[in-house]
Structures are given as C-alpha cells and as structure tokens.
A and B are shown apart, each in its own frame.
Chain A
C-alpha cells in the first residue's frame, strides 16, 4: 500500500499545492496561480482517495490466481477429452453464482433442463442418461452477484451492466458496446486487457472477458447463452453470443 502510485502522486500534489498556495497568494499576489495550487490540492486528495479504493491485491497476483484457476479447469477438461462449448445459465436455472455447463457429449438441448442445476462438478441436466455435463463457476462471477437488473433489459442496460463490471469493477476493458439482433448478442469490448487464445480452455469456455459478458447477458435476458464466436482486431474484441431456448 505504501508504494501505491496514486498515493505517491496524491501526496506530492497536496504537499506542493499546500506549500505554493501561501507563496502565490501572499508573496506573488497572483489569484490564477493560487487557483492552480488549489486545483493541485483537490486532485491530490482525489488521487489519495483513489489509492485507498484500489484493491490491495496487485493486478499481477490477481492474474496469477485467475490463470491458476483456468489451468486447473483446462487440465480437467483435457483429461476428460471434453471440447464442447459451454452454455452459460441464468440465475433461474442454477443454484448459487454464475455457472457454465460443459456437456460431456454433444450439445446441450436447453429444453431438457427442467430443474435448477445443483452446485456440483458433474451434473445431470436432463432425463436421458447421456445428459451429463460439467458445471463450473464462470470466471469473475462473484463480482457481479449483486448486480441489479430489470426483468426485460434493453441493450443499453445490458451494456451498462457489462461496462460496470468489466470497466469499473475489474478494470479489464476501456468500454463496451452491445447490439442485439434476433437470437444473438454482439458485444464489442474496446481496449480489452485479456485476449482470446486458441487453447483448449478458451475453446470450451471462451476468454475470461467473454465468460463474464456471457454470464451477465444470460442473467439479464434470463436465457441460457453460448459464446458463438470471439475475435480480436485492432484493440477491439468482438464477442458473438447465441441466445438459446
């Protein structure tokens, strides 16, 4: 915490401003210079305030923990030979935090999901013995557990919710744009800090940013969602989500 750059910047600005206010006001007798020093004090205090709001866990440590979690799930998926795309479930179809279902064979027919999916690793979602899937917690899902959303949100409201989590809470992107068409949601993430990689885990679950976006969108429209496509071009990540059911 002591080496927090915002804190150092804030202290520097406050001390410099406090020293120069009397000099500018009483000695130089310049009101504009005094105003600049006042601004410096205000910005300094704001910077100190931001330093205390910043997470105490460093971004490097957070990334390491995220990668470890992903590697564990990737190892499990590879070991079981599961390469099907995950389906992100809304809160009405699951218990607890946001879940993604990865079918053990074939694709998931969401109409077969009759009851809430229990909080277990291997779950049965339908009546057929082959309706088995691995249920994993979507990355970053704990951050948006208290997100409030209307029952039928509009694309700007979904955009605001995704933007709030990705930009404000997790600082994983610069901004978000959402477009809704029939059965599909197109999400553009501008300035994403994590990119898509063509590895086993990402092929099943999507990138962590896409997972978060899919979980929020699924909760918002109260329907299961699958990540159909993901691409990265010129500092912009485009995620195409398929609405199921």
Chain B
C-alpha cells in the first residue's frame, strides 16, 4: 500500500474511532471533538517521518490552519472563564 493511502486510511480510522468513543462517553461539546481531531492530524503527520520535505511542508500548512482554529477555541474558552 502506498504511503499516502496508508496515511489517509490511518487518519480516517483514528478520527472515526475517537469520534465514536467521545460520542459514547456522552461528549456534547463540539470543541472537544475538534481538538481531538486536530491532535490526531498533528500526531500522524509527526509519526510519518519518511514523507518527503514537500509533503511535510503542505501537511504542516494544514496543521497550522488547524492550530489557528485551536487557538481561537482556547481564547473563547478563556474569555468564557474570565466572564464567569
């Protein structure tokens, strides 16, 4: 199996697994799901060390966008805590 296919399949499998586990745990906060998915993407990109530099570069840009989303979520949560 090609490395890109393996990466995508592993990503599909892990995100599905995490979403199902969180759903069974009764998680109702969408930000928790988002953070879990972001962490999976980040972890898999780091684990696939044999990707070419070009591939790593484009995948890093995806991780960067997701990280920006994570920062927004974190800021909103902090503001929520401060307001309380």
Contacts and interface: CB of A to CB of B under 8 A. Distances in A.
Interface in B52-71: 52, 54-55, 57-59, 61-62, 65-66
B80 to A, nearest CB: 18
Given A31-B33, A35-B19, A39-B19, A46 B3 contact: no
Contacts of A31: 23, 27-30, 33
A184 interface: no
Q: Interface size for chain A: under 10, 10 to 19, 20 to 34, or 35 or more residues? A: 20 to 34
A218 interface: no
A212 to B, nearest CB: 14
B3 A168 contact: yes
A116 B55 CA distance: 35
A74 interface: no
B37 A42 contact: yes
Contacts of B7: 50
A38 B51 contact: no
Contacts of A36: 16, 19
B2 interface: yes
A39 B23 CA distance: 14
Interface residues of B, number: 37
A167 interface: yes
Contacts of A38: 30, 33-34, 37
B72 interface: no
A49 B11 contact: no
A4 to B, nearest CB: 11
Given A35-B19, A35-B37, A42-B41, A49 B61 contact: yes
A53 interface: yes
Contact of B3 (A32, A35, A52, A167): A167
Given A38-B33, A50-B55, 16 more contacts: A6-B4, A9-B8, A31-B28, A32-B27, A35-B23, A35-B33, A42-B41, A45-B62, A46-B11, A49-B58, A49-B61, A164-B50, A167-B50, A168-B48, A169-B52, A171-B3
Interface of B: 1-4, 7-8, 11-12, 15-16, 19-20, 22-23, 27-30, 33-34, 37-38, 41, 48-52, 54-55, 57-59, 61-62, 65-66
